[in-house]
């Protein structure tokens, strides 16, 4: 099967590329390489791998590759409220306009898999989020991703995944994600400053994120035209709990502060019952993910670009 991954050189895309190639698929990564491309080097030895340096805002170039794909995994996005707030016009162009253009390029026979986000829910205290919970995003990031999700679900044959917060190692590592960042700071700085430590968050290892896309490809007939929360009920934890798990493995100083807040106001418990009914389950625990980060981070330059993406 021919699979196109927009934004495929990123944190999720490089992990997914490995899994798709191992499964025997032809994979085309379409990416502008905003953060470099060294992480793609091992893939070029595989004859089923193709790389296209392209921007999703270049609709003519994008269409050339979308029309050749059986499956389009749409990961290209400006991710997170800090990045979207810094460049709101770019965020709208990439997250919304490019998604609308991509949707118009696809036929009903093609499957579109969208990487969406739990930030679509906004703030929900003392409530469990299901796929039926009304969306009320609070940040520009959440609003653009909510709009992108509506576009693909209304205009394409699609599966949209509202992912929990990712963690764990990838060929294109990110150290700005909560668990990855906390482990890095505990190791390198020997202290963590955490705000809103009682806020509940939900997590998923990047390996399991990639597995969920492969799972959707293999189960298209039963999953298409659906939105799923993707994660595990066992991975709903507070930020404070994450700090304590790390503290059980690393000796560091923890300071609980009250001078910052999460603009997306992510403080909720998410139900993953719907994705569980398909047979999909996560495989990597928070504890195991932290252990692998503890082994990996010392090999990374503290001043590498991974920290600031």
pLDDT in tens, 232-287: 999 999 999 999 999 999 999 999 887 555 554 556 789 999 999 999 999 999 99
Q: Give the residue carrying structure tokens 């997306």.
A: 264
Instruction: Look at residue 196 in the predicted model and tell me its pLDDT.
Output: 84
Angle between helices 11-22 and 206-218 (to 10 degrees): 50
pLDDT mean across residues, the chain: 92
Half-sphere exposure of 202 (CA within 13 A, CB side): 25
End-to-end CA gap in the chain: 32
- Residue 15, class by beta-carbon neighbours within 10 Å (0-12 exposed, 13-18 middle, 19+ buried)? buried
For residue 154, give every residue at least 6 positions away whose Cβ sits within 8 Å of its Cβ, in sequence order, or none: none
- Residue 147, class by beta-carbon neighbours within 10 Å (0-12 exposed, 13-18 middle, 19+ buried)? middle
For residue 264, give every residue at least 6 positions away whose Cβ sits within 8 Å of its Cβ, in sequence order, or none: 81, 119, 122, 137, 138, 139, 141, 142
Helix/strand/coil for 114? strand
Report pLDDT digits (tens) over 40-85.
999 999 999 999 999 999 999 999 999 999 999 999 999 988 899 9
Report pLDDT digits (tens) over 10-23.
999 999 999 999 99
């Amino acid at each position: 099967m021919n699979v196109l991954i927009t934004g495929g050189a990123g944190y999720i895309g490089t992990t997914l590329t490995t899994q798709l190639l191992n499964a025997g698929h032809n994979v085309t990564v379409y990416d502008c390489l905003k953060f470099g491309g060294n992480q793609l080097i091992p893939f070029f030895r595989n004859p089923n791998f193709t790389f296209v340096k392209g921007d999703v805002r270049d609709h003519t170039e994008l269409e050339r590759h979308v029309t050749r794909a059986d499956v389009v995994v749409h990961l290209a996005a400006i991710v997170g409220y800090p990045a979207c707030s810094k460049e709101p016009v770019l965020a709208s162009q990439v997250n919304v306009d490019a998604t609308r253009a991509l949707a118009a390029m696809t036929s009903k026979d093609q499957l579109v898999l969208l990487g969406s986000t739990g930030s679509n829910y906004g703030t929900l205290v003392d409530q469990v989020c299901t796929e039926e919970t009304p969306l009320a995003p609070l940040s520009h990031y959440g609003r653009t991703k909510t709009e992108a999700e509506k576009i693909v679900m209304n205009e394409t044959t699609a599966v949209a995944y509202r992912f929990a917060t990712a963690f764990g190692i990838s060929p294109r590592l990110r150290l700005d994600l909560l668990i990855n960042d906390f482990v890095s700071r505990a190791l390198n700085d020997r202290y963590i400053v955490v705000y809103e430590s009682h806020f509940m968050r939900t997590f998923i290892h990047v390996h399991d994120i990639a597995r969920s896309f492969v799972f959707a490809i293999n189960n298209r007939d039963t999953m298409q035209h659906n939105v799923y929360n993707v994660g595990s009920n066992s991975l709903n934890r507070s930020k404070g709990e994450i700090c304590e798990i790390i503290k059980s493995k690393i000796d560091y100083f923890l300071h609980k502060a009250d001078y910052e807040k999460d603009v997306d106001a992510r403080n909720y418990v998410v139900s993953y019952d719907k994705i569980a009914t398909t047979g999909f389950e996560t495989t990597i625990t928070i504890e195991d993910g932290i252990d692998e980060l503890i082994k990996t981070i010392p090999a990374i330059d503290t001043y590498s670009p991974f920290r600031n993406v």
